[in-house]
């Protein structure tokens, strides 16, 4: 399931975040790559473990908790600390699939990557190219969103970033271990949640809203893997 998540950050918040990370230390993006990805990846990444990186990551995590669309689509159990990358001068990231398991920095714990996320931090008209291209059974989806908007999609997807031929593409990226690992089940729950919210907005006193909400939570109880 590919879901666009609007307005994770306001324009003011994007500017504040960019001010923080643009002044940070940027290194070769392959510091977090597996062997396969390293051969296809050409970008820069904000050095992990710096004060700027930690502060910026916490900034994004706080925003995620305020996003009902993200919470409904991802059903997060654990979120990998957000990272930041940038592409310019023809840099790109070729076809790859994200690693299934990632160690959490500074601990002996690991996270299963069920959902991948890209939060766009550059105005879409400030650079050319740089589309996130995601393949699924329905074809290839090209995603290039306004600054402050995000896309989430299954981490099992084959995907790539098209070359940036003008300007600079800056984004935050991270992975989510969902409470519901199966993408098909998450899709059904997301669609059910959207329907319940729509019904509630139109008929807040409707008894079916309570009944469907009970069905939703009972399905989570059945499928949750925590």
pTM, two decimal places: 0.94
Same domain, 146 and 216: no
203 is in an annotated binding site: no
Residues 136 and 57 in one domain: yes
Specify whether 205 is located in the same domain as 98: no
In this prediction, residue 35 carries a pLDDT of 59
| Least confident span in 15-29, 38-52, 162-176, 197-211 | 38-52
On the question of pLDDT at 193 being above 80, the answer is yes
143 and 208 housed in the same domain: no
DSSP H/E element including 214: helix 207-223
Residues 100 and 189 in one domain: no
CA nearest neighbour of 2 among 163, 143, 101, 120:
143
Cβ 173 vs Cβ 85: under 8 Å: yes
Q: What is the pLDDT of residue 73?
A: 98
Q: Quick one: pLDDT at residue 36?
A: 60
Model confidence over 25-53: pLDDT tens digits? 999 987 665 556 667 889 999 998 899 99
Residue 226: what pLDDT?
86
Flag whether 182 is marked binding.
Answer: no
Same domain, 192 and 161: no
Residue 98 annotated as lining a ligand binding site: yes
159 is in an annotated binding site: yes
Q: Above pLDDT 70, what percent of the chain?
A: 96
User: Percentage of the chain with pLDDT > 90?
Assistant: 91
127, 219: one domain: no
Q: What is the CATH number of the domain that holds 192?
A: 4.10.860
Query: Are residues 168 and 205 both part of a single domain?
Result: no
Domain limits for position 128: 3-178
Indicate the number of domains in the chain.
Answer: 2
pLDDT at 216 over 60: yes
Asked if residue 57 and residue 115 are part of one domain, the reply reads yes
Q: Are 116 and 153 in contact (CB under 8 A)?
A: yes
Taking the alpha carbons of 8, 123, 135, 103 in that order, is the dihedral positive or negative?
negative
Judgement on whether residues 190 and 145 belong to the same structural domain of the protein: no
Kindly state the average pLDDT of the residues 56-76: 98
Reply yes or no on whether the pLDDT at 203 is more than 70. Answer: yes
């Amino acid at each position: 399931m590919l879901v666009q998540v609007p307005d994770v950050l306001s324009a003011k918040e994007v500017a504040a975040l960019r001010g923080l990370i643009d002044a940070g230390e940027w290194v070769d993006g392959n510091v977090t790559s597996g062997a396969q990805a390293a051969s296809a990846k050409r970008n820069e990444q904000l050095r992990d473990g710096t004060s700027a990186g930690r502060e910026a990551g916490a900034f994004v995590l706080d925003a995620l908790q305020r996003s009902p669309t993200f919470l409904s689509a991802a059903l997060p159990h654990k979120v990998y600390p957000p990272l930041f990358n940038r592409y310019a001068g023809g840099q790109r990231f070729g076809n790859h699939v994200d690693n299934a398991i990632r160690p959490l920095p500074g601990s002996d714990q690991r996270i299963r990557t069920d959902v991948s996320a890209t939060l766009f931090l550059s105005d879409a008209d400030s650079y050319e190219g740089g589309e996130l291209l995601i393949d699924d059974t329905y074809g290839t989806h090209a995603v290039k969103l306004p600054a402050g908007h995000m896309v989430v999609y299954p981490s099992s997807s084959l995907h790539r970033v098209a070359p940036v031929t003008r300007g600079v593409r800056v984004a935050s990226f991270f992975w989510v271990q969902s409470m519901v690992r199966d993408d098909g089940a998450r899709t059904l729950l997301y669609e059910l949640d959207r329907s319940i919210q729509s019904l509630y907005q139109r008929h807040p006193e409707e008894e079916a809203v309570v009944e469907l909400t009970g069905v939703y939570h009972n399905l989570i109880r059945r499928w949750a893997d925590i």
